[in-house]
Amino acid sequence: MFSYSFLRDFEKINNQTPGDHEVLVISDDFSHPSVLERITSRKYNVVFHQAAIPRVLYSVENPSATTDVNISGTVRLLEACRGKIDRFVFASSSSVYGGADTLPTSESHPKDPKSPYAWQKSAIEDVAKVFSNLYDMDIVCLRYFNVFGPGQRGDSPYSTIKTGDIMRSDGDGTQTRDLCYVDNTVDANVLAANAPGKFSGDCYNIACGDRTSNKEILDYFKKKFPDAESADAPWRAGDVMHTQADISAANERLGYEPKIRLWDGLEKTVEWWDLS
């Protein structure tokens, strides 16, 4: 699976002052032997594991293939990191909650994944706990809530405006989401990498702490792009009705605070579309 993983290098780079670090972005199979060899050679002190086969619907249609990559690949990556790095930061997902009956939802809410993708994220959180306990690894899991923003791939099914396809409303549009601008998640990762103390597979919600309906967002785009077409679509298998995060734990433990809210983030995303 070709996707992105980020590894922070502690090797000294030319013209850098002591304490500076290289950030190497690898667009490749995150569990490829050549990647794992670099980790076991102690070239990095922090691994940000952002890579996966994403999308709920794709996992519903391809449960075995996505499980092979998302779970087995991550176990291989964790195994390579064992005793070789200082901290492992894992990109988990709000989908582990399923349709939470308590909003805002805190990390103590029982997990109830509704799709293979959600279950895979949940299972990796469980594996993170096991590796932390067995091998004394420092691992923190960040549960992202619907990340969006500049850089989102044009071929994503969520990027219909960018590609010129017809906008769609899945179901009646009353489902709500706690959407999180990408810069907020970047901040969360940096904070998680540098937070003092030790993590034992602990999980933290990364979001804005509010929610917006799909219909409100569709109305925004209709006003922004009057010529854009829209159509109704069936409910998507594996989707939940509502998400909203309680972000107090991330604030207290990591110092996380969302800096960019939904509507400002959408404006920034549209500006990027216009320039790209």
Cis amide leading into 104 (omega within 30): yes
Structure tokens at 147: 């990340």
Structure tokens at 194: 């540098």
Give the span between the Cα atoms of 88 and 72, in whole angstroms. Answer: 17
CA-based nearest residue to 243, from 60, 95, 55, 91: 95
Residue 22 host element (H or E): strand 22-29
Residue with tokens 């996707």: 3
Catalytic residue, chosen from 44, 97, 117, 256, is 117
Sequence-ordered alpha helix ranges (H) in the chain: 33-40, 56-61, 63-67, 73-81, 116-135, 160-163, 182-194, 214-224, 248-254, 262-275
Amino acid at position 142, single letter: L
Annotated catalytic, 4?
no
Q: Is 4 helix (H, G, I), strand (E, B) or coil?
A: strand
Provide DSSP, 122-189.
HHHHHHHHHHHHHH---EEEEEE-SEE-TT--TTSTT-HHHHTPPEEEETTS--EE--EEHHHHHHHH
CA-based nearest residue to 113, from 70, 51, 173, 164: 70
* Residues with a known catalytic role: 117
